[in-house]
Structure formats: C-alpha cells, structure tokens
Amino acid sequence: MLRWTWILAAVLGVSACLDRPAVPVDPATTNLRVDQIRQARVDKMDLLFVIDNSASMADKQAMLEAAVPKLVQRLVTPRCVDSATGTVVAGSVPDCPAGTTAEFQPVRDIHVGVISSSLGAHGGQACGQPGHDDKGRLLSTVRAGLPNHEGLDFLRWNPGSDATDDAGPDTLIDEFGAQVVSAGEGGCGYEASLEAWYRFLVDPQPPDTVTKEGNFTSVLGCSGEGADCGSAGVCVGGFCADKVVLAQRQAFLRGDSLVGIVMLSDENDCSIRDDGSSWLVGAGAAIPRASSACSSNPDDPCCYSCGLVATPEGCPPKEQDSECMQTKGIHPKTDDHVNLRCWEQKRRFGVDMLYPTSRYVEGLTQPRIADRAGREIPNPLFATGGGSSRDPSLIYAAGIVGVPWQAIATDDSQQAGAPLEYKNARDIDWARITRQGRTPALDPHMIESLAPRPGLADSSVPLQDPAHGHDWNITAGFGAEGPGDLQFACIFPLAETRPCAGKIPCDCSSVGVNGKSPLCWDGAQYTDVQRYAKAYPGLRQLEVLRDFGDNAIVASICPKQALDAQDPSFGYNPAMNAIVDRLKEHFSGTCITRPVEVTTNPDGTTTTQCAVVEVTRRGDGQCACDDAANRREPNAKLVGPVLQELRTDRVCGPGSADQVACTRDEFCLCELGEATSKASCENDVAASGIGWCYVDPSQGVGRDEVIPSECNPRRQLRFVGPDTPAAQAVVFIACVGKPLDS
C-alpha cells in the first residue's frame, strides 16, 4: 500500500507532470506527493515453514500435508481468469481456454525450507531427548530418510535447471509433504515457533548450544577467528554460532526474492530466552513464587521473583512479603505443573523468561538489529549483499494458529456450507483475538485460563459452543498432581478417533474423562476415545502478526471442514489460498489507498498528473534509461526528493542494512513512462504495451476486473510489459495534489 509524503512544489519549483502537458499549478499553494511504491514484480520466492512438532500435532501436520498441493499448484500453475471479467474459470496454466488468461505469471524459482518449533529447554533439564532440540536447522539435516534435492538441504522448484522440475511439480509436492509430516510430534513441549524462524533467518549468532552456567542461561562465548567452538560452531562477534544454520541461511535466502514465513502451531509460542534465569522453565525443581504485587499488576516495579537475593529498591522488604515468606516462597508441585511453565510467567513467577514479541516484529521490519553483544548490525533478512537491501514489502509472515476461524473469516464465510475465506490483516478485529499489553482479548475463547471463562459454555451442556465445544474442569481432571492444562480456543472433529486407554500423553486418558473435556464426548458420555483435536490461544504469534501489519496472514489451525476432503473449506486449503492471494499482488500490480487526481480531456481520455521514477542500484557504475523500454531521464528537480525518500525508507543512508550513500553515484534513476497502450492497460486483464497506468473505476478510469481482488478501495497503479518495473527496483510516484488549505 502507498504512504503519501507531502512535499511543497514551491520548494521543488517543478510541476508534477514534468515534461508532459499539465494543468496550470500555483506553486505557492499546491503540493507534490512523492512516495515509494512497494515492489510489484518478483520472480523468486523463499518460503520457510515452521512446524510445531510437540504432542497432539500429528493430525494437523497431516492436514497441512494434504494442503501442500493447493499451495504449490496455485504458485506454479496459476488459475485461469476470464479476460473480460477477471472471474476465475475452469483450468490452469498452461491450459487456459480461449478468452482467458492466467491470474498471475507462474512463479518459476521457489525455495521451500521446513524447520520445527523445538529448540530445547535452554539450559534446563527438560527436552533433552533426540528431536527436542532441532536447533533451527532444516529438517532434511535432522530427520533421517528425507530426500536431498540437488545436494541442497531445502527443496527447490526451478524448471529448466532440473529434469524433475521439467516433469512437473509433483516431485516438489511429494517431498514438501514428506518434510511436513517428518517433523513428528515427539519434540519439545516448549514450542518456540517465533524463535525458530528468527534463529534461521535473522539471528546474527544462532547458537549451536545453549547451556546453564552457574545460575544463568548462557550461549558459549569465543575470543575470535579460530576460537574453539566445536565441530558445529564458528566464532561470530564474540559468540559461538551454529555454522550449519549460517550455511543453510546463506544458500536458502536470495537477495532478490519474496520471503514468506508460515507457522503451524496449536499452542501459544514459548520462545525461551538464551540468557538470564530462563533455564528455570525447563528445570526439574520448582520455580520461586512471584511477589504479592504481581497478582494485581505484573508491571508493578515491586513485582519480582521471590528468588532474588535482595529486595528491589523502593519495595517493602522481601521477608515481609506475603508470597515471599520463607514458608511460602517456592511454588508447590501442585501449583507449578511443567506443562504451564510458559503461561503468565510475570504474574506467577515475577519474571518474564520469554523473548518479547517486539524482537520478532523488529526482525521482520528493521534493516538493522542488535546482536548478542548489543551492537547494531545489518539484519540478515534485509542485508542481501552487494549493498542492496530487501524491500520490506517483500517479507510476509503467516500464522495457522489457535484462533476460532469464525473470528477471522469474512462475513460471507460464516454461513454453513459457504466456502471459507479469511480476512486481510487490515480488516481483522485484533482487539477481539489478541492482548494489548496485559489487557486480554475481547473474545473469551482467546483468554488463557485454567478456570472456565465467563460467557462460554461449560460441560453441563456438552459441545454447545461451535468454536471450542465447552470449557471443562481442568482441576478435577488432573487431581492431586495439580492442574496442567488450559482451556481451548477451538476444537475440530478427528477423521479417525484415537483410543487413549493406556496411552500417555493422550487427551482422553483419565484426565480428559474426569475433567469432562470436550475432546472426549461421544454424544452420550465422556469416554477414553478422543474424537476431537484442540488448539490453545496463539496469543504471542498473533501479537507479532498484528504488529507486523498488512503483510501478515492469519488462519485458524481449527478448520471449518475437517472431514470432507472434497469441500473447498477442507483442512488448510483456505489458509493456502489466503497466502497466495496476499503474495500474488507482487505478480499483478500495486494497490493504492489515496486516490490520484484525474483530469478528463476533451477527447474523453484521461490524464493523471503523476510521474513514476524507477530506482535501481548502479552495480557496474553504469546508468542508462532505455527509451525503447519506455524509460527516460527524470526531471532533475525530482532527484533530490526521491533520494530523500530512499533515505527516509532506509533503503540507504543511516539505519539502512548496508548504509550505502543516498546518491546518484550509488543509484540509477529513470522515469517510467505511461503505458504505450494506455487503454489496454486500463481495461484488459491481459494487457499489452510497456509502462504504467492508473485504474480507478470510481473516477471512470478503467475496468474493475483488472484490479487484483486484494485491492480495497478498488484502485490500482498497474504495471505492464516485460521487466516493468525491473526486479529489485524501488519505485516512486510523484503526483500534483490539491491546495494545502482545501
């Protein structure tokens, strides 16, 4: 989407249309809008899937495996659309019938990586078994029997470079699905979905090993090049980093690709810190209580851990605190179940042992981040080499997580039998499904709680609630060992029931039956046969997606249709459609929120008082604006504002990934002309010509059918022609606006 920046034309001394005919403008009262247009064309895609591999995930992994063909086929063989109306018709590329065309150009170069959510217990005693710490490495290197594609640790689709690619996408689909289910459900119960992708894509010093040193969690330090970091380690900035992850990241992540992250998890994120006392999360011993102030306000300065040696300054003596007295200072086992070590840590323990969600928002949005020593360095996700920086609009994050589908689906989807479609991020009622600070979500389904939640059905009327069945008596279920579960956000029926007799863990063992869990109701009574799968509120993942913004994609891990594979709403097919529908804007054009002023000419044609400037890195130092490609030198008076916008958007200059200078010595600027076949650009789904055009049916310019479905309001700056705009170009629009006092 475009963010308009207003620059006074009096300062520039230039009309917006440059050397094209323009309506007269009073430079004292009129302004010029100059803004970056996010890159509209990419030809490479790097997709990273983060799969929760804890207990209860096998059924969800199988459902994702079944949805893999939907994702791959839409990317590599897009659907056909009617050339006149833009509606989807039967068929797909390359067999689109006469009168139709592809919804977008097929993606010809795709990397697919799969990692798990298991990163161990960070110095604690739990999660010490094989598969409990996959280190953020690609699964092909930590699971036996997975195919090695062209010697790479990830999967690749690139027709023309490999014989199996030329045979079609079936091999990619099969291998992709195999990697998804290879994650298994024997991983660490402290699911670190956020930290897993951060470690693989962003962390400048991804640790090979996190240990407990004294009373602190620690990443092994080192003194410099050649330091002993073990066979899998390399010294980076004073810390031993996992050279396997670094090498995999280097091979997987291209500088000119669109990057997509997809998280699949049925639990809230538990990304344990690599420092401080975070080893306590996975410790065998009980954790000290929180001071009394924590129960009413976890943000109170006097909310602290009773395990502190000294009382924080300004607080009553620890020895007099009702929760920290010697006889009460440690949680009893019945009040500190290992399953709940990541739940409301500050309130219960007086300290947060998880990374703040801001860490992950910054990793997705900031060209420069802090390393483990606090030094500001280029973000590997942005620093793509050669002095370039990935456009932030080319980074997407999706979560298939614990949230009722009803809370994030479009209005039409709410009807029984209607195909499920998910809302765009900008249309989601985030207050309904996420916390704001300590303020809980408005929807009680999205509140983490041991006790039944106000306003929701309980077990007295089983399965009354369409989203989660009902709240259950967790305390009665666990008995003397203390409660070890939370209420569910949503549930869905299993295709195959799961007998739990003699099996641990299993949701309908005595715990589920005694507590009257909705997962165990057979229509007449509670039994030890599990009939439903569940998910907990995915609050931390949702907070990151909310704060990330428009490039977030949200879907429910509880499908609308879980039994009929022929139903369009089956499983995670709607989630795959939502992902492609968001990504495809980079193959079709740019949506615009603020309208562009249009002038109608005597002959009925229209004129937009705008110029479009394409900016690329010089590379070899040469810069040529090719007239044959409808490009020419921009008006000199526009150069300064465009370079300033590059600086403001941190493409260059202070705060950019590689801190190159914002000068014409580093960047090539060309004005991109209006489409050589403007009428075709404005009206034809399969347009001809080279250049750009503005489509806005509300002003009588062009047809609605050529505008991508995700554009709301219905207006678009459309690009047509080969290599328009150039791959990895940064593009700006400059338009004459209305008087400042209008």
Where b means 16+ CB within 10 Å and e means fewer, 91-101 reads ebbeebeeebb
Higher pLDDT, 634 or 585: 634
Question: Does 437 score more than 70 pLDDT?
Answer: yes
* pLDDT tier, 166 (very low <50, low <70, confident <90, very high otherwise): low
Average pLDDT, stretch 134-152? Answer: 86
253-276: pLDDT as tens digits: 998 889 999 999 999 999 999 999
How confident is the model at residue 27, as a pLDDT? 29
Closest CA to 206 of 128, 274, 115: 274
Q: Which of 15-24, 359-368, 411-420 has the lowest mean pLDDT?
A: 15-24
* pLDDT tier, 441 (very low <50, low <70, confident <90, very high otherwise): very high
Question: Does 717 score more than 90 pLDDT?
Answer: no
What is the Cα–Cα distance from 292 to 269, expressed in whole angstroms? Answer: 26
Return mean pLDDT, the chain: 86
- Beta bridge partners, 234, equal 241
For 427, the token pair is 């249309």
What is the Cα–Cα distance from 397 to 466, expressed in whole angstroms? Answer: 28
For residue 646, give every residue at least 6 positions away whose Cβ sits within 8 Å of its Cβ, in sequence order, or none: 36, 615, 652, 653, 662, 667, 730
Q: Which of 74-88, 462-476, 525-539 has the lowest mean pLDDT?
A: 74-88
CA dist 338 → 184, 197, 257, 281, 541 (Å): 21, 25, 41, 8, 21
Tell me which DSSP letter residue 355 carries: -
Question: Does 136 score more than 90 pLDDT?
Answer: yes
Tell me which DSSP letter residue 274 carries: S
Residue 211 backbone dihedrals phi, psi, to 5 degrees: -130, 175
How confident is the model at residue 710, as a pLDDT? 59
Q: Is 94 helix (H, G, I), strand (E, B) or coil?
A: coil
49-97: pLDDT as tens digits: 999 999 999 999 999 999 999 999 999 988 888 766 777 888 887 888 8
How confident is the model at residue 1, as a pLDDT? 32
What is the Cα–Cα distance from 631 to 619, expressed in whole angstroms? Answer: 18
For 189, the token pair is 């119960």
CA dist 51 → 197, 269, 332, 478, 710 (Å): 10, 12, 33, 28, 27
Question: Does 313 score more than 70 pLDDT?
Answer: yes
Ordered alpha helix ranges (H), 377-517:
430-433, 474-478, 510-515
Question: Does 589 score more than 80 pLDDT?
Answer: no
How confident is the model at residue 455, as a pLDDT? 95
58-76 vs 573-583: helix axis angle to the nearest 10?
Answer: 40
For residue 262, give every residue at least 6 positions away whose Cβ sits within 8 Å of its Cβ, in sequence order, or none: 47, 48, 49, 50, 398, 399, 400, 579
8-50: pLDDT as tens digits: 222 222 222 223 332 222 323 345 566 666 544 577 899 999 9
How confident is the model at residue 4, as a pLDDT? 31
679-693: pLDDT as tens digits: 999 988 778 899 999
CA dist 593 → 15, 473, 649 (Å): 23, 49, 19
A 10 A CB-CB count for 223 gives 9
Question: Does 281 score more than 90 pLDDT?
Answer: yes
Cα-based torsion angle of the residue sequence 293, 295, 296, 299 in order, rounded to the nearest 10 degrees: 60
How confident is the model at residue 712, as a pLDDT? 65
How confident is the model at residue 481, as a pLDDT? 76
Residue 632 backbone dihedrals phi, psi, to 5 degrees: -150, 170
Question: Does 741 score more than 80 pLDDT?
Answer: no
How confident is the model at residue 381, as a pLDDT? 94
194-248: pLDDT as tens digits: 999 999 999 999 998 899 988 899 999 998 777 789 888 999 999 999 999 999 9
How confident is the model at residue 709, as a pLDDT? 63
> CA angle, corner 199, sides to 373 and 153, nearest 5?
135
Write the secondary structure of 587-646 as one string of H (helix), E (strand) and C (coil): HHCEECCCCCCEEECCCCCEEECEEEEEEEECCCCCCCCCHHHCEECCCHHHHHHHHHHH
Closest CA to 724 of 656, 674, 678: 674
For residue 702, the one-letter residue type is G
- The reported pTM is 0.83
232 burial class (0-12, 13-18, 19+ CB within 10 angstroms)?
middle
Where b means 16+ CB within 10 Å and e means fewer, 504-515 reads eebbbbebbbbb
Q: Is the dihedral of CA 123, 118, 140, 369 positive or negative?
A: negative
What is the Cα–Cα distance from 621 to 224, expressed in whole angstroms? Answer: 36
| Chain centroid to CA 541 | 9
What is the Cα–Cα distance from 521 to 528, expressed in whole angstroms? Answer: 9
For 244, the token pair is 């396997």
What is the Cα–Cα distance from 226 to 231, expressed in whole angstroms? Answer: 12
384-411: pLDDT as tens digits: 665 557 888 889 999 999 999 999 999 9
Tell me which DSSP letter residue 235 carries: E
Q: Are 55 and 505 in contact (CB under 8 A)?
A: yes
Average pLDDT, stretch 621-635? Answer: 88
For 292, the token pair is 């009394």
What is the Cα–Cα distance from 42 to 37, expressed in whole angstroms? Answer: 14
DSSP characters for 653-672? STTSSS----STTTEEEEEE
How confident is the model at residue 35, as a pLDDT? 61
Question: Does 310 score more than 60 pLDDT?
Answer: yes
How confident is the model at residue 326, as a pLDDT? 66
Q: Is 293 helix (H, G, I), strand (E, B) or coil?
A: helix
Q: Are 718 and 693 in contact (CB under 8 A)?
A: yes
Question: Does 371 score more than 90 pLDDT?
Answer: yes
Tell me which DSSP letter residue 89 carries: E
How confident is the model at residue 385, as a pLDDT? 63
Question: Does 610 score more than 60 pLDDT?
Answer: yes
Strands 210-213 and 216-219 come out as: antiparallel
CA dist 567 → 77, 401, 417, 555, 570 (Å): 21, 21, 9, 17, 5
End-to-end Cα separation, the chain, in angstroms: 24
How confident is the model at residue 8, as a pLDDT? 25
Question: Does 542 score more than 80 pLDDT?
Answer: yes
Give percent of the chain with pLDDT exceeding 90: 57
Higher pLDDT, 420 or 605: 420
Where b means 16+ CB within 10 Å and e means fewer, 52-62 reads bbbbbbbbbbb
Ordered alpha helix ranges (H), 108-242:
163-166, 170-182, 193-201
Question: Does 570 score more than 80 pLDDT?
Answer: yes
Residue 727 backbone dihedrals phi, psi, to 5 degrees: -55, 135
